[in-house]
Amino acid sequence: MAEIIAVRDLVKRFGDVVQTEVLHGLTVSFERGALTAVIGPSGSGKTTLLNIVSLLESPTAGELVIDGRDFSAGDINAYADYRNAHLGFIFQFHYLLPEFTALENVLIPHWIGRGRPPASFVGKALDIMTEMDIRRIRDKYPNQISGGEQQRVAIARALVNEPRIVFADEPTGNLDRETGFAVLEIMTRMIRQLGTTLVVVTHDREIALRADRILELVDGRICKSFRTTDVGEKGARALLEDRDCLVDDLSVSALKGGAGGGR
């Protein structure tokens, strides 16, 4: 499968006088049209990696190419138009604007990028809300709907511009398990329908196991990277339970002799 994001020797440091290096020369790619789950313990660099590949933060060093365009310079302010037109974002908190209705919140990306949305675009937004079973709350305000409905509105907002890539940082973190899985299922279905690439940061391994590929970070380095279709659910669970790091992309052959094979 062709790659849509490629990073090479990616480094991120924070601080001026005293610098802390969070990402240590990462080289990894993300496949077009795939759902990739990025997992790892707190402080491993998951959100930092997500913020850099989604053009929300600048890298300290390294190469970043998105859909054939070089973003290595890391001028995030200059990339605002590109982000709004081609990328979608879903966060742990929905970040809906409280003074706008659910439908108005979904339409915000068009207002930002192109001004007042025409009737055709409003119709598309309503179609997405129908798919996500939230059209009935179109005229309600965020404080009038449930947490699951708020997150569905946020997902609809992320998808309305039909972005090439959607980035999600703990998108079900504020929801109970049942609601979280329901929201993830809806989000995944919509992504598949649109052919959009989805990169999800999550601490929930059950959610990660629903991805096409799992990327595990530990201490700012890639610990594991494998495709769930290659190793199967049982193999994926074994790899996630194995505490050793496997730095190369894994395939079925990596499971020969156990989950730690191929070290």
Q: Which one, of 28, 19, 77, lies nearest residue 49 by Cα?
A: 28
User: 């409905």: which residue's tokens?
Assistant: 149
Half-sphere exposure of 59 (CA within 13 A, CB side): 25
**Per-residue pLDDT band at 249 (split at 50, 70, 90):** low
pLDDT digits (tens, 9 = 90+) for 42-57: 889 999 999 999 999 9
Q: What is the DSSP letter of 93?
A: S
Q: Is 247 helix (H, G, I), strand (E, B) or coil?
A: coil
pLDDT above 70 as % of the chain: 92
Q: Residues 6 or more apart from 242 whose CB is under 8 A from it?
A: 259, 260
Among 30, 4, 35, 27, CA closest to 198: 35
Confidence of residue 241 (pLDDT cuts 50, 70, 90): confident
Read off the tokens for 200. Answer: 């999800």
- Taking only the tens place, the pLDDT of each residue in 57-90 is 999 999 999 999 999 987 788 888 888 888 989 8
Whether the pLDDT of residue 260 is over 50: the answer is no
Kindly tell me if the per-residue pLDDT of 263 is higher than 50.
Answer: no
**Tokens at residue 73, please?**
């310079």
Mean pLDDT of the chain: 86
CB 208 within 8 A of CB 39: yes
d(Cα 18, Cα 164) in Å, to the nearest integer? 37
Residue whose C-alpha is closest to residue 132's, from 165, 102, 175: 102
Q: Among all chains, which residue has been given the structure tokens 């119709």?
A: 123
Domain boundaries, the chain: 3-219
Closest to 201 (Cα-Cα) out of 21, 84, 36, 80? 36
| CATH 3.40.50.300 at 3-219, yes or no | yes
